[in-house]
Structure 1
């Protein structure tokens, strides 16, 4: 298996869990908190997508899909364009409301498509490129991609878990 295939498989798994976590849920269910101060399904999926979009766009040296493809306007959230959800408080989480799961999956799928198209052109040597020298040791492209995958899978799993709690409560 080639490097690009491994990365595409990893991001494909995120996409599967994202779709499974939101499929068939109403806007109310997506915005329902599974417990006091807990992240909603809508926030979790929006956040993991924003982080992937932010980080991968930075690696590709391109504009984020959030702004370049109009997703910022479609979501109509009360946050600055650069906001990815990092450091959000419960009231910020509650502000992430969508009309349907299709908005969440539409944005994720657009980011996924750009991500997998880009990683298809990577080779092993590319993984050693330093992408952030603010850390000790400096962060390589490979480490950053694994970090994004790890964060995405954790949040997608949290969304799937929250789905079970939300459906159980109804």
Structure 2
């Protein structure tokens, strides 16, 4: 009997961790919805702008998916400040502030900042998906998997933009 209580307590702590991490990435995604248009405006490469615009639409979808996940868990969608994303976005804004307008150097900096964001999100969604699976939340794990794949694709697209034009142009400036 005592084992069951301890086990139940352990599971609820695990569930709390999961929900806490969801609140964290929810804040991160909502903040990205605000930050991506600034990156778009600051970018001069048309390819990079298209990449950012496309990911902005996905990011809005990620916010909606997270709201759906909270709903599936019977919880109110709640954001908790994500210090990591706040730091990454501040760093991204510094890159924009410290580089010349309409420059490939700025575009290269924006790509670096955006990829740091993507890698953070890939880590967060990968972990959340794993936690969901362990708890038997298969539907939620599948939703998280969809977002994870989109984050990975965004990262690949950013690499392609960097390698196809931006880095060469930035090195030449």
TM-score of the superposed pair, with normalisation by structure 1: 0.39
In terms of Rg, which structure is larger?
A: 2
Structure number with higher relative contact order (C-alpha < 8 Å, ≥ 6 residues apart): 1
TM-score of the superposed pair, with normalisation by structure 2: 0.38
